[in-house]
Amino acid sequence: MLSENIENINMPDGESIKTVRFNPENQPVGVIQMLHGFGEHSSLYSELAGRFTEHNFACVIHDQRGHGEMPGLSEKQREKKLGVAKNYEYFLKDIDVIRDKIGEWYPDLPVFLYGHSMGGNIAINYLLKHSQDTYKKVILETPWLRLYEKQNPVVLFIARIIGGLFYKAVYHTKLNIDSISRDKEFTEKLKEDTQKKERLYHDSLSFRLITQIFDAGEYAIKNADQIKLPVLLLCAGKDTIVSPDAIRKFYENSDKNVVQFEEYPESYHALHNDLNRAEVFNRMLAFITNGK
């Protein structure tokens, strides 16, 4: 049975963030620090984490700002904070805090960074703006560098103005859940979650964060060659949420000595929850265990 340790971590600014540790039955050989995507939460990664723990890797994931349970808040307070953070930089600061905790929980073990979608965007920008020495390797699964649909520059300009003035102003993306995965059982669960009173999965994102994530994606593409850690970059060929072309452009700009690129032509956005999830996991496992 999958072992979970849940702890609410207080960040320097007072924000309390739920953090989950998935532990293997045996002594772990390494730790995977996971960054979830937009609208998601830590509980959605129990299946992927369970696969890693079967191979003696511990997994640590936290609910990113504006996502998940938001401990200490009432239901009404939490609803108002869905998709909201004062600034993109807090995502990066939170990674630092959790990484320090991992050092306390699992001393002397190698740590791997994994980011999916928005989490991939955040992982790249963390590595570009911080020391890369604390991680051994990086897995980037369908990182959100650009959206699949091109954004109207006028709309984006208005979003920047609104976000600059009101960081709590929120936009509902109306994300098509059926485009996340070809696994209908998985997408139906997400749809059911959105109908719950205490829904965890959501489609809310502040105007400020939208524009900051856009900018961070462009920065990542432009500076891809500055990442010097071994990277596994995964792309879904039929992704209609984020742009596969942007992911390919990131690879084109990267240092090919450190970045391995793998594309799954028929897959949808959430590769780890798509019909070929076992194949994708085996690729991730091979990368962190033997580098191929």
Contact 127, 102 (CB under 8 A): no
Contact status, residue 68 vs residue 200, Cβ threshold 8 Å: yes
Distance CA 218, CA 224 (A): 10
Q: Look at residues 48, 65, 66 and name the one whose alpha carbon lies nearest to residue 57.
A: 48
**Distance separating alpha carbons of residues 269 and 286, to the nearest angstrom:** 21
Interatomic CA distance for residues 279 and 277, integer angstroms: 5
Beta-ladder partners of 236: 264
Q: What is the pLDDT of residue 75?
A: 87
Q: What is the pTM of this model?
A: 0.96
Residue that is written with structure tokens 């609803």 in the block? 79
Residue 34 tokens read as: 């996971």
pLDDT at 196: 75
Quickly count: other Cβ atoms within 10 Å of residue 158's Cβ.
12
In this structure, are strands 259-264 and 231-236 parallel, antiparallel, or unpaired? Answer: parallel
Quick one: pLDDT at residue 199?
79
CB atoms within 10 A of CB 140: 30
> How many residues comprise the chain?
292
- Select from 57, 41, 40 the least CA-distant residue to 284: 57
Give CA separation, 105 vs 17, 210, 227, in Å: 17, 34, 27
Listed in sequence order, the residues at least 6 apart from 287 whose beta carbon sits closer than 8 Å to its beta carbon are 137, 139, 230, 232, 260
Residue 1: what pLDDT? 57
Number of H helices, E strands in the chain: 9, 10
What is the number of other CB atoms lying within 10 angstroms of the CB of residue 5? 12
| pLDDT at site 71 | 92
pLDDT score, position 197: 66
Q: Which residue has the tokens 């085996």?
A: 282
Give me the amino acid identity at 53.
T
Q: Does domain 3-290 have CATH number 3.40.50.720?
A: no
Strands 3-10 and 16-23: antiparallel
Written as one string, the DSSP assignment of 41-59 is -GGGGHHHHHHHHTTTEEE
- Plot region of 66 (φ>0 → left; ψ -120 to 50 → alpha; else → beta): left
| pLDDT under 50: residue ranges of the chain | none
